[in-house]
Amino acid sequence: MASEPSRPETLRIVQIGEPILRRQARELTPDEIRGDAVQRLIARMRDTMREAPGVGLAAPQIGEPLQLAVIEDRDDYLRDADSAWLAERERAAVPFYVIANPKLSVALADPVEFFEGCLSVAGFTALVPRARAVRVEYLDERGQARVIEARGWHARILQHEIDHLRGVLYVDRMTSRTFMTTANYAHHWKDRSLQELRAALNLAG
């Protein structure tokens, strides 16, 4: 008899207001990262991120106070996107990878603003200024030291997920006047330029 295909092992994503989202996560040792418990956690975080769907997930978002996150911006998320929209955001597919104990430094500090959401602030979005390019030193899923340099949307994802490991959410960095439901964003603002939005919301700059 044929066995049934295995289903993804997903985890509950905690929402804003949960204390763990405001705590500094602890570092992992290389031995911990290589251990069975963290390897199982990585697999379940990957499945949870994909099921959501999202482009990143940090351990505090699933109730674990660890400096661990998974990143992936899949081709199928971008397949139907307008090429000009992708170019404006400097967005391209990013293969799945794991970061532990990340140390982020800014490579290009000039802030870039785009709407950003979060799996732990479900149903909302806002304009968030982020550095255009960053450099991150981290340990990979085997506990090996790595360095990655990223720009555009990839850099935004890294900044967002690493913030989670410090107890910071995008609402702490957002342009507060732009905070809105994702439904209203899609209905009123999705196809308007940043300049039009700034004028409509009486934003400086």
Does residue 161 have an active-site annotation? yes
How many CB atoms lie under 10 A from the CB of residue 190? 10
d(CA 132, CA 9): 34
CB burial class (10 A; 0-12, 13-18, 19+) of residue 25?
buried
d(CA 148, CA 165): 18
Could you give the angle at the alpha carbon of 197 between the alpha carbons of 191 and 200, nearest 5°?
125
Distance CA 145, CA 83 (A): 35
Q: Among residues 72, 116, 141, 161, which one is catalytic?
A: 161
Exposure string of 145-180, with b = 16+ CB inside 10 Å and e = fewer, is: ebebebebbbbbbbbbbbbbbebbbbeebbbeebeb
| Active site residue ranges | 161
